[in-house]
Amino acid sequence: TVEDAQEGMMYQWTWLGTKFVGPTLEVLATEVGPKPMVLRELDSSGSISREVQTEIVVKYVRREIRSLMDEDREAFFNAMEYLLVTPHEVGVEVYGENYRSLKYFIGMHHTYSADTCDRMHEGP
């Protein structure tokens, strides 16, 4: 949101190559990481009065599973089932060398949450 929006000015946002107009930008980010964003203040002739180029860091937000839409919840449970029943070697053949089975994630969870400095559940 442009906090000092000026009367008679137009605001143009560029987010991931798409232009939006208005003093507020609301988008649904589907990938995490730094993303470039440009905000331009344009006068009535379309000339740039001010411009800000920056990066917005998109982070993953943990969700309550019961609040997911049915389709998203089913996709999540199907993925979990695949991790449970698919041997590591088969997963690597299908998805590549970065595939990890459920056993890997269980081990990671135990390592990072079983000591006195729990790093998995809301921090230490």
| 54: nearest Cα among 80, 25, 81, 77 | 25
Q: Is residue 123 scored above 60 in pLDDT?
A: no
Q: Is residue 82 left, alpha or beta, with left meaning phi > 0 and alpha meaning psi from -120 to 50?
A: alpha
Q: Is residue 28 scored above 90 in pLDDT?
A: no
Q: Is residue 46 scored above 60 in pLDDT?
A: yes
pLDDT at 122: 64
Residue with tokens 């589907």, as numbered in its chain: 30
User: What is the average pLDDT score of the chain?
Assistant: 90
Collect all residues with Cβ–Cβ distance below 8 Å to 32 and sequence separation of at least 6: 58, 59, 60
Task: Specify the higher pLDDT residue, 10 or 109.
Answer: 10
pLDDT at 59: 83
pLDDT digits (tens, 9 = 90+) for 91-105: 999 999 999 999 999
Question: In a 3-state reduction of DSSP, which class is residue 8?
Answer: coil
Task: Specify the higher pLDDT residue, 53 or 67.
Answer: 53
Residue with tokens 């056993």, as numbered in its chain: 103
Per-residue exposure over 29-60, b if at least 16 CB sit within 10 Å of its own CB, e if not? eeeeeeeebebbbbeeeeeeeeeeeeeeeeee
Average pLDDT of span 9-20: 96
Q: Residue 64 — very low, low, confident or very high, per pLDDT cuts 50/70/90?
A: confident
Domain residue limits, the chain: 10-58, 65-113
CA atoms within 13 A on the CB side of 47: 2
